[in-house]
Amino acid sequence: MPKRAKPASLHIDYLDIDGRTVPITALHNPRARRIIVRIDLAAGSVQVTSPSRRGMAKALLFAHEQREWIAERLEHVQPPVPFKNGAHIPFRGREHIIRHVGTRRAEAEGRGPVWRTRAADTGGLPEICVTGHISFLQRRVTDWLRAQAREELGERTLAYAQAFEVRPARITLRDQTSRWGSCSATRALSFSWRLIMAPPHVLDYVAAHEVAHLRHMNHGPRFWNLVASALPAYETAKTWLEVHGPGLHRYGADPFGTNDEA
């Protein structure tokens, strides 16, 4: 099935909320049934979607009329955390510090461009050490986290596929914001690489959830019974995602496009 074209960005406006300039991106999507306003909790921005090109001005006006609702939601938006030297980020549910280190140290220890140092070796929090020019730090950390997620999710997905006696067509990683995983009609599974920042039992739950869809393409009783057969306490992970999941999207966001040392 051919991929559907993404809605085109038509206009960018701004909303002043308590002295804060909030960007509003206006989109046209003919599949939308009504004007929709969404808050990007990672970027602290607003997206308004209109089903009609002619209704763009009306859509922007509608967004401005929702100022109080937008302001209330933005109160809960935490500031973005770029992948920069000294930043604290979660990895497998545990707080880590990003450290930019010299290439000589990596060569002396026989390391690659990115590696993890245990808390027992640092005397404090565990660290994610990164070599190379500081301008490459954000990309290197992102690539390393994606590689860790690919390995972990691939291993867990195949384990659950064997347990549920199913076989996925392929497994891919994305940076999707609307869902943590998906299962297509072609048996292709897709996951958010940001799951590697969540506790292991949460990653396990999403892997089991999507693999279970290869047996039941719905959320009926048989589907949940299958998930529970592998993870009896899956509700704990499900709740964690609902409460803490949105906050994972703020990590790696760099609104100024810099990686300067703190």
Q: How far apart are CA 63 and CA 84, in angstroms?
A: 34
Report pLDDT for 63. 83
Q: Which residues make beta-bridge pairs with 12?
A: 25
Residue 19: pLDDT over 80: no
Determine the average pLDDT of the residues in 232-244.
94
Measured CA to CA in angstroms, residue 87 lies from 80, 95, 134 at distances of 11, 10, 13
Structural domains of the chain ordered from first start? 8-74 (no CATH), 88-140 (no CATH), 145-249 (3.30.2010.10)
Answer yes or no: are the C-beta atoms of 219 and 212 closer than 8 Å: no
| Confidence band, pLDDT 50/70/90 cuts, at residue 249 | confident
Residue 196: pLDDT over 80: yes
Report pLDDT for 108. 58
Q: How far apart are CA 204 and CA 197, in angstroms?
A: 12
Residue 30: pLDDT over 90: no
Reported as a single tens digit per residue, the pLDDT across 130-179 is 998 899 999 999 999 999 999 999 999 999 999 999 999 999 999 877 78
Residue 255: pLDDT over 60: no
The pLDDT mean for the chain works out to: 85
Report pLDDT for 107. 60
DSSP code for 81:
B
Reported as a single tens digit per residue, the pLDDT across 91-125 is 999 999 999 997 766 665 667 889 999 898 888 99
Q: Residue 83: what residue type?
A: F
Report pLDDT for 109. 66
Query: Which structure tokens are listed for 211?
Result: 């693999």
Which alpha helices (DSSP H) does 23-89 contain, by range?
A: 56-65, 67-74
* In 41-166, beta strands by DSSP E: 45-50, 88-91, 94-100, 114-117, 127-130
